[in-house]
Structure formats: C-alpha cells, structure tokens
C-alpha cells in the first residue's frame, strides 16, 4: 500500500512515517522544504516530494499512485490559521479525488457538546473534517483530545505547568473532563484506519483508558514524575485569554500556540463512542499514568548522548525527536565549552582520564570542596570516595560524587552525578584530533531539573559556571599542553 504523509516534519507525521514503513507501507512524504527531512533517521526509506498544500499545482505529483493520504498539517501559531487550513484542506481534497486516492485519514480535535460555542481551534478542526468528508473520497476523521507524548503541545503545557509550579492559581476549566490518549495509541489508530472498508466515511472519537479533569492530570503527572503534591486553587477570574498569557509566561510553549489550545480547554473532551476500537481490534488503550511514564522515560533514564533514540527500550513514539520544536521534551540546561589544544589527543585523554580524586578537578578547588561538604551535610556522598586508580577509570566505578556512566578510551568520558541535587546531572569530556597534530577539548555539563527546585538550583549555580567550568576547560587543556612539552613522562598535575 502506498501512503502519502503530509506534515512529516511535525509531531504526529514524524512519528507516523517510520511506523507505516514498519507496517509494510510504501511511504511518500510531502514537505514544503525537503531539506527539513534529510536528517530524519528514516529519510532514506521514504520518497520525499516538495510541495505546499496552499499551492494546488504542486499536489498532483504527490498524490500520483497513492492509496491512502494522511492529512496531518495545521497552521496553529499563525493568526490566520483558520483560513490557511481551510484552503489547504480544500486543495488536498480536490487533489486526492482527481488522483483516485482510495482513502483520506485526518487527525482532528474533539467535537464540542451541542450548544457549545467552539473555540477557533476546534472550529477550524471541525471545518477541515467537513471539507474532507465531503471530498468524494472515503475519509476517516479521528477526533483526539489531549495527546500524551513528549513533543505534543498539550502535553508540554501540562508538563511545564506541573513541574515549575508547586502552588498554582488556575481557571475554572481545570475541572473540565478530558480523556487523554497516548501517542502510541493514536498512531495505531491512524495506521489501522488505512484498512477501513470503502463505505466508511465518518468521524470517530478516540481516547485513552481514563477520563480525568485537567486538575487530576496535573496531580497524577506530579505523582508519576516523583514530584511533591501540587497545591491547586481554581478561581473564577482567569479568562481563557488571561490563562493563555499565564501559560505563555510559565511554560516555553509559544503564546501563539498556547492561546488557541487553552481556549479549547473550556470544552470537555470525552469520547462519546468507541466505534473505531471495535472496527480495529487491538490492545486496550493505555491509561494516563502509563502514558506519562512512557513520555518521561527517555528524559528521566537515558544517557544524554542518545536521548533522541530509544536506547532505553521504551516506546520511542512517546519520546522526543530531533524534529520536535525547541520548547518540547522537557527542560534541559546545558553548559558547553571547547578549546583548541596544542597537544595530541592521546595526551589530552591522559589528563581527562586522570581527573578527580587526588588529581582534583582543575578549577576553583575551594568551590569543589565547599560543594562536597554541603553534599555530605545533606546526606550525600561528597568527595570522600575519591577514585580507585590514579590514572585509569572503568565504566561503573565511583569517582568522587560522580559515577562513570560511559567511556570510550581515548575520546569520551561521561560522568553521572550522584550528589544530592533536585534533578539529574552529567559531565562529559571529549578529546578529538584536529587533523594537524593537535586536538580539541569539548566539555559539556547537562542538568535535567526536577520541579521548581531544580530550576532554582540551576539559576543559583549559573553565576559560578564561568569560573568553575571555564576554569576547568582552561586548566585541563593547559595541563595537556604542559605534559606534551615534557614528553608525557610525568604524572598529571594535581589540581585539588
């Protein structure tokens, strides 16, 4: 079966394309700029056609020979998103009909209850659904509420609000009922909809196993994420407009996206039928807690170097992708330094592997000592563990308040912090040849905050980073250059 995926650079499309391939589909992706897909790990397995849904002359080539066409684009974030999506849907429908496409599949939003005045976002989604259902091509419209997965704008709002605010004043809509669904289940329904009988031309409600209020979702998110109980006080004075600005202030989700999403939360989003699940038998949809665990799995547990892959063995659909927007995937604070070194990479590596213990940390010894004492007072390990061997390390061993998480001899040392901090922290050091007999030293500190305390902790130590981390990079490279001049016969210089 040949499938066309529009929106392949977006949240759902970027996850659907590789799963269609795994299901045996031949996949063609339509993109306004084909270069945006070149770094996708599955790009060499799909056909990429450059085109624009608002430019109808570009669509016949995309639709040629297609059996199933997925409409997964929206212009949320633009002030004229309703008009743009209306034109895109009409062009898409006409091109699909002319090309003899067998089925259209569209992922839309929930239908407001009769008598409700829909938000512009939901009104636009309903209009697109109507255009596609009236196209003359059998169409399946999947009406999804909040989608749980890293990168979903609704989930990112939930994540950041809950993690950053232990006490919240919230609008009344936090009591509205929602039936959130895991992105894994959304993708399963999208793939299955391609095989629906030809006579099926209708909308379907889809949802997860739990019906919750937004307030309950925040509290259960906090519990799954290991955060203290959140205290939430609903009030009557926050209009959707004020709520959207409040969300924009507290979270990194852009205001242009937050506004229409928050306006949609004034409507309940609960499935009124379960017909698609009956037509597409499969596993039961996940509950909210398990969906959140999957979404947080990579952020919480994986090593920082492979956070864009599914090294943890969890469901990669729920985890971040490189194509996701910068504001998705949770907060990650990074301090990066690099310096050219007038010494070979093997000399630089000797200094890197010898760090810690009696050799010290090459920067501001008093600051490291004070931090170690504070850690011990808080019940942590401090700096008392030292190191097993003065010159050599191995994966898994303790190194002061760090643990050697990964090591590639001669090039990479990654340490995971075991000190008491409100989050998780890594320190990574690399030695890279520069091609001319010298080398480059790269240093990266990564911190994943846990709750508001984690964000405040990073802000409190940020003023010292220029002293500690810059001094560390400077002194490591100087030591490598000094040892290189001495012929490397001596031991590493002690920098306690």
φ/ψ of residue 6, rounded to 5? -95, 155
412-437: average pLDDT: 90
Residue 327 has pLDDT above 70, yes or no: no
In this prediction, residue 494 carries a pLDDT of 47
Residue 148 has pLDDT above 80, yes or no: yes
Residue 374 has pLDDT above 80, yes or no: no
In this prediction, residue 315 carries a pLDDT of 54
Handedness of CA 479, 495, 332, 410 (dihedral sign): positive
Q: Tell me the two tokens of residue 274.
A: 């379960």
Confidence of residue 175 (pLDDT cuts 50, 70, 90): confident
In this prediction, residue 366 carries a pLDDT of 64
pLDDT-wise least confident of 101-105, 158-162, 404-408: 158-162
pLDDT digits (tens, 9 = 90+) for 244-263: 666 666 666 766 676 667 76
Predicted structure pTM score:
0.69
Residue 492 has pLDDT above 50, yes or no: no
In this prediction, residue 93 carries a pLDDT of 97
Between 292 and 371, the more confident residue is 292
Percentage of residues in the chain with pLDDT exceeding 90? Answer: 46
In this prediction, residue 152 carries a pLDDT of 84
349-370: average pLDDT: 81
Residue 446 has pLDDT above 80, yes or no: yes
Between 60 and 9, the more confident residue is 60
Q: Which fold has domain 333-485?
A: Alpha-D-Glucose-1,6-Bisphosphate; Chain A, domain 4 (3.30.530)
Alpha carbons 379 and 383: distance in angstroms, whole number: 12
In this prediction, residue 275 carries a pLDDT of 93
Please give the mean pLDDT across all residues of the chain: 83
- Which residues, 6+ apart, have CB-to-CB distance to 114 below 8 Å? none
Residue 118 has pLDDT above 70, yes or no: yes
Alpha carbons 201 and 93: distance in angstroms, whole number: 14
Residue 490 has pLDDT above 70, yes or no: no
Domain ranges of the chain: 2-318, 333-485
227-242: average pLDDT: 70
CATH top class, domain 2-318: alpha beta
Confidence of residue 138 (pLDDT cuts 50, 70, 90): very high
Confidence of residue 304 (pLDDT cuts 50, 70, 90): very low
Find out whether 250 and 164 touch, Cβ atoms under 8 Å: yes
pLDDT digits (tens, 9 = 90+) for 20-61: 999 999 999 999 888 888 878 899 999 999 999 999 999 999
| Range with the largest mean pLDDT of 93-102, 360-369, 384-393 | 93-102
Long-range contacts of 300-308 (CB under 8 A, 24+ apart): 300/424, 300/448, 303/405, 303/406, 303/414, 303/426, 304/414, 304/426, 304/428, 304/444, 304/446, 305/406, 305/414, 305/428
In this chain, the answer to whether the domains covering 2-318 and 333-485 adopt an identical fold is: no
Residue 190 has pLDDT above 80, yes or no: yes
Alpha carbons 461 and 333: distance in angstroms, whole number: 12
């Amino acid at each position: 079966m040949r499938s066309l995926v529009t929106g392949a650079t977006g949240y759902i499309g970027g996850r659907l394309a590789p799963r269609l391939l795994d299901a045996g589909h031949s996949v063609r992706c339509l993109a306004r700029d084909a270069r945006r897909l070149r770094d996708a790990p599955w790009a060499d397995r799909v056909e990429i056609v450059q085109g624009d849904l608002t430019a109808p002359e570009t669509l016949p080539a995309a639709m040629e020979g297609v059996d199933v066409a997925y409409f997964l684009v929206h212009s949320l974030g633009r002030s004229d998103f309703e008009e743009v999506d209306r034109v895109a849907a009409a062009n898409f429908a006409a091109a699909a009909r002319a090309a003899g496409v067998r089925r259209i599949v569209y992922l839309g939003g929930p239908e407001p209850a009769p008598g409700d005045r829909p938000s512009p976002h939901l009104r636009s989604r309903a209009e697109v659904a109507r255009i596609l259902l009236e196209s003359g091509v059998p169409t399946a419209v999947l009406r999804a509420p909040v989608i749980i997965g890293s990168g979903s704008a609704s989930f990112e709002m939930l994540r950041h609000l809950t993690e950053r605010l232990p006490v919240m004043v919230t609008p009344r809509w936090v009591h509205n009922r929602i039936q959130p669904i895991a992105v894994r289940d959304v993708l399963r329904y999208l793939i299955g909809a391609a095989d629906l009988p030809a006579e099926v031309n209708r909308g379907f409600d889809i949802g997860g196993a739990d019906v919750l209020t937004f307030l309950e979702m925040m509290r259960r998110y906090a519990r799954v994420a290991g955060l203290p109980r959140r205290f939430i006080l609903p009030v009557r004075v926050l209009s959707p407009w004020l709520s959207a600005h409040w969300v924009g202030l507290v979270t990194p989700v852009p205001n242009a996206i937050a506004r229409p999403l928050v306006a949609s939360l004034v409507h309940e989003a609960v499935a009124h039928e379960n017909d698609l699940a009956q037509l597409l038998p499969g596993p039961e949809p996940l509950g909210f807690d398990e969906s959140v665990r999957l979404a947080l799995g990579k952020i919480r547990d994986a090593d920082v170097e492979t956070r864009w892959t599914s090294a943890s063995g969890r469901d990669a659909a729920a985890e971040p992708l490189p194509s996701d927007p910068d504001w998705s995937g949770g907060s990650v604070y990074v301090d990066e330094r690099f310096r050219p070194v007038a010494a070979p990479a093997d000399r630089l590596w000797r200094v890197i592997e010898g760090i810690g213990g009696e050799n010290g940390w090459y920067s501001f010894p008093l600051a490291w000592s004070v931090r170690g004492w504070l850690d011990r007072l808080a019940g942590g390990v401090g700096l008392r563990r030292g190191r097993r061997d003065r010159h050599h390390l191995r994966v898994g061993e303790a190194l002061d308040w760090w643990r050697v998480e990964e090591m590639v001899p001669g090039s990479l040392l990654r340490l995971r912090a075991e000190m008491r901090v409100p989050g998780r922290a890594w320190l990574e050091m690399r030695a890279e040849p520069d091609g001319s007999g010298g080398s480059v030293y790269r240093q990266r500190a990564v911190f994943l905050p846990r709750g508001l305390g984690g964000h405040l902790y990073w802000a409190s130590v940020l003023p010292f980073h220029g002293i500690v981390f810059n001094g560390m990079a400077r002194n490591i490279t100087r030591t490598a250059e000094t040892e290189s001049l001495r012929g490397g016969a001596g031991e590493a210089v002690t920098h306690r």
